[in-house]
Structure 1
Amino acid sequence: MATKLACFVLFMIMSMAISPTLSSVVTNAMDYWCDKTPNPQPCKYFMRQEPKPLVPKTKSEFRKVAVGIALERALHAETHTKWLGKKCRNDKEKAAWADCLKLYQQIILQINQTLHSTKCTDFDVQTWLSTALTNLETCRAGFVELRVSDYVLPLIMSNNVSKLISNALALTITKFVPQSYKHGFPSWLKAGDRKLLQSSSPTPNLLVARDGSGNRRTIKEALDAASKRSGKGRFVIRVKSGIYQENLEIGNKLKNIMLVGDGLRNTIITGSRSVGDGSTTFDSATVAVTGEGFIARGITFRNTAGPQKHQAVALRSGSDLSVFYRCGFEGYQDTLYVHSQRQFYKECYIYGTVDFIFGNAAVVLQNCMIYAWRPMDQQKNTVTAQGRTDPNQNTGIVIHGSRVMATADLSPVLSSFKTFLGRPWKEYSRTVFMKTYLDSLWILQAGLNGMETLL
């Protein structure tokens, strides 16, 4: 009995002596990996909070752990954001809060994609994590632009989600692979979709007509019907000539939707929401799309709020692998919001004044006509404002083979208004104009933050 007791005491002493050593080994291993990230402190803190800390052996294992921690914190932040709704003191705070709740739901979806998609590439992961960061920045921006950033916003953003996603993104840097094209469209566009885009009369699943000659009278009714379809294949909605006064949201569950109009001068979707009337920029869009694989052809997206109402978006796209062909985008400030994900615009017409092509997507605009209106007095035109906030985001605006022109109301008074090709909206802004005709309207911008991004 005495021998057994002595052995037990010896075992306990050895365990106590060894435990700190084992703990320090785990801690040192965690520190080793976290020190390789842009934000090591939150990485170390949250890794140590795990009930069963996993010590990664490879970079890919560490990335999976980092993404998992970011997801866990995003879920916590979403729950916290829901609770904060009752803390909103006025309609403006409520509007910005509602955006944040919606954006956190998208962030969770994007992080989940990186963890559970079986066929994704590193470039896909980089795109989705870049989008998650963009969504967080958009959440913050809503409070700032409505001038209500003093109360609810600090509570929403005090969770380190941004830093944890930035860490995961830094571990997902891929080698540059030039984008390939087939028949004038990105190679990621399926052959069947290319044929639909180039067909003179694609067969629709539903026909929308205001006069009652179709299956539905409004586009929203057609989208509601599409949401109840079985399967996830391409769903074509033809929208006959007419002016449709609708605000549309084509959400994450509405994948592979195609809207086909009767030409950009004939089929027009119009709205008038604006920051001036209490919307956030994000929520001001006449049409907002996040459902993957969205395609539009022969439609104009318009916001009629006017220049006095400031930010007023005609189209906002956060749809991954989306295409807009022979479409029009009409507005003044913030006309075309290329918010996030991978997008392609071909043979489109874009009109605006201030920052009228803006956002943080990986986007190419090819063979487009870009027109600057006459702005308000004491105002200047800016064609692009690119919003890259992290050096590892694979985002930027490329304008290729296009024309940048003055409208008929601006041409006679060019000397009275300055027009710039773009401004570095965020610290790591990236915009490229290639093989593009530049009218005599533009001048070189100077004196802004981020001008070191100019080449």
Structure 2
Amino acid sequence: MDFCIFFFTVILFSTAFVTAAPSATSSDLVQSSCVHATFPKVCFHTLSVYKGPMTTPRELAQAAIKVSITRAAKVTQFLSGMQKEANKREKGAVKDCASQISDSVDDLRKTLGELKKLRRGSFKWQMSNAQTWVSAALTNEDTCLDGFKEIEGRVRSDVKKKVTNVAKVTSNALYLINRLDHP
């Protein structure tokens, strides 16, 4: 009987240790990967709270893209609502910006799809695709802000704040993709 209790206790603690180990690994991976990112604080903050697998650099890059997709999609929704509040001059810029950010979401989704199917034989080609699409997403985000250069006020500042945040997350995702080695 004592042996059974001992055995059960060992299994229970072993299971708890194995379950806890990946999160320590994920935390270490996030910390070591984000330290040299373009925006290290943003990188660490967004990925340390991410609820998904991140035990490899590839999973970390995928998580960064997922975070970027989520944030960009929220900005698209925000911009849709902002069109109702904007004056005539602002409406055009907001509408164009919404289109640009929507294109960014599409590019980021293509990137995620490519990262999920990385293969040794086509790795360089797939990485080139992923880098191109994330770069295009960043360009779209930048182009969105260009539409507000001649506009002043709350709409501009609100849009700039939201889009700049997405651009930082997207830039960090590109950094993490660039760090990937062969699968």
With the length of structure 2 as denominator, give the TM-score of the two structures: 0.71
Aligned residue number for residue 30 of structure 1: 30
Cα deviation, residue 53, structure 1: 4.4
Aligned equivalent of 2:57, options 38, 46, 59? 59
One-letter amino acid matched to 1:60: R
Same amino acid, percent of matched pairs: 26
Aligned residue number for residue 302 of structure 1: none
Q: CA contact under 8 A between 2:29 and 2:55: conserved in structure 1?
A: no
One-letter amino acid matched to 2:175: A
Partners in 1 of 2:146 and 2:44 — Cα distance?
28
- Cα separation, partners in 2 of 1:29 and 1:122, compared to 1, 3 Å: closer
| Unpaired segments ≥5 residues, structure 2 | 1-12
Cα deviation, residue 28, structure 1: 3.9
Cα deviation, residue 166, structure 1: 0.7
Aligned residue number for residue 155 of structure 2: 152
Cα deviation, residue 173, structure 1: 3.5
Aligned residue number for residue 74 of structure 1: 72
- Cα separation, partners in 2 of 1:46 and 1:141, compared to 1, 3 Å: same
Aligned length in residues? 151
Aligned residue number for residue 86 of structure 1: 84
Aligned equivalent of 1:166, options 157, 167, 171? 171
Cα deviation, residue 22, structure 1: 6.9
* C-alpha RMSD of matched pairs (Å): 2.6
Cα deviation, residue 23, structure 1: 10
Aligned residue number for residue 111 of structure 2: 114
Aligned equivalent of 2:143, options 138, 142, 151? 138
Partner deviation per Cα, 1:324-345 (whole Å, 9 max, x = no partner): xxxxxxxxxxxxxxxxxxxxxx
One-letter amino acid matched to 2:64: A
Q: CA contact under 8 A between 1:63 and 1:171: conserved in structure 2?
A: yes
Cα deviation, residue 127, structure 1: 1.1
Using CA pairs under 8 Å that are at least 6 residues apart, name the structure with larger relative contact order, 1 or 2: 2
Q: Which has the larger radius of gyration?
A: 1
- Cα separation, partners in 2 of 1:137 and 1:114, compared to 1, 3 Å: same
Cα deviation, residue 60, structure 1: 2.1
Q: Does residue 49 in structure 1 map to residue 52 in structure 2? A: no
Q: Does residue 95 in structure 1 map to residue 92 in structure 2? A: yes
One-letter amino acid matched to 2:93: A
Cα deviation, residue 31, structure 1: 1.7
Cα deviation, residue 107, structure 1: 0.5
- Cα separation, partners in 2 of 1:42 and 1:28, compared to 1, 3 Å: same
- Cα separation, partners in 2 of 1:136 and 1:81, compared to 1, 3 Å: same
Aligned residue number for residue 101 of structure 2: 104
Q: CA contact under 8 A between 2:22 and 2:55: conserved in structure 1?
A: no
- Cα separation, partners in 2 of 1:75 and 1:168, compared to 1, 3 Å: same
Q: CA contact under 8 A between 2:33 and 2:176: conserved in structure 1?
A: no
Higher strand share: 1
Q: CA contact under 8 A between 1:47 and 1:53: conserved in structure 2?
A: no
Partner deviation per Cα, 1:236-290 (whole Å, 9 max, x = no partner): xxxxxxxxxxxxxxxxxxxxxxxxxxxxxxxxxxxxxxxxxxxxxxxxxxxxxxx
With the length of structure 1 as denominator, give the TM-score of the two structures: 0.31
Partners in 2 of 1:83 and 1:152 — Cα distance?
11
Three-state SS of the structure 2 residue aligned to 1:138 is helix
Partner deviation per Cα, 1:29-72 (whole Å, 9 max, x = no partner): 4222221311111122222333x343x33322221111111111
| Unpaired segments ≥5 residues, structure 1 | 1-13, 175-455
Partners in 1 of 2:129 and 2:169 — Cα distance?
18
Q: CA contact under 8 A between 2:30 and 2:60: conserved in structure 1?
A: no
One-letter amino acid matched to 2:48: R
Aligned residue number for residue 349 of structure 1: none
Cα deviation, residue 84, structure 1: 1.1
**Map 1:238-253 → 2, pairs under 5 A:** none
Aligned residue number for residue 6 of structure 2: none
Partners in 1 of 2:22 and 2:56 — Cα distance?
20
Partners in 2 of 1:29 and 1:110 — Cα distance?
26
Cα deviation, residue 126, structure 1: 1.2
